[in-house]
Copies of this chain bind each other. A is one copy, B any other.
Amino acid sequence: MTSLEITNWQDLQSEFLNRIQSRQWKPGELIPNEADLADEFGCARATVNRALRAVADTGLLVRRRKAGTRVAVHPVRKATLSIPMIRSEVEARNQSYSYALISLDTKKPAANVRAKMGLDKTAKALHVRALHLADGKPYVYEDRWINLATVPTIGAVNLEIQSANEWLVANAPFTEGDIAFSAASADAIVAEIMNVDLNEALFVIERNTWNNGASITSVRLTFAPGYRIHTTI
């Protein structure tokens, strides 16, 4: 019983989404296997597979070998968001980007940073603090630690001119990373640097990156008031 002869995986994906949404396929229910669906739509199994994988990637289907494919009971929607370089982000808003180094030292990091970066107690790291500006106004305050053992050449870079952010993106590719989003009140230091009120609510991104297990950098980015990250689901 070919219903419509869909031979294109994106149309198939839409059809599957419709069936889930219209409850023709109900939460928790087993849906037909790939071979049957391929038969129904008059296309190859690989095409059905591609479409089903795409839907499963959004969290609406759960697939297991032998057990088959089921409609997720508690759909966990997944959102993909892009994390651009700060300069790109500012320029994408048609604002002029500028950058100012605040401080630069080589010293032993505090215990929490040391732990995140997997440094031993005596190890020193490069501490960089900088301000990124959009149209001359504070946009992001960057507080960063860089592992000199992993990225020794950073020592030769003039961080007054080029931000560590940019240099690292271009010169220290990473294999693993984690990222966290949170909210924090401006403390006295941040309030002064960013020219905001004390205790103002600011958006914070913390990121750690590794290259094959070796820590590269740990950074905390504090954004100006009003900042938001937006994406579609």
Contacts and interface: CB of A to CB of B under 8 A. Distances in A.
Contacts of A81: 78-81
Q: Which of the four size classes fits the interface of chain A?
A: 35 or more
Interface in A64-107: 74-85, 88
Interface in A153-177: 169-170, 173-177
A230 B88 contact: no
Interface string A168-205: 01100111111111111100000000000001111110
Contacts of A232: 176-179
Nearest to A20: B173
Contacts of A83: 76-79, 233
B181 A229 contact: yes
B180 A200 contact: no
Closest 6 CB pairs of A and B: A183-B183, A201-B201, A177-B233, A182-B228, A183-B203, A185-B201
12 contacts: A21-B211, A76-B85, A77-B177, A78-B81, A79-B81, A79-B179, A177-B233, A180-B229, A183-B202, A183-B204, A201-B201, A209-B233
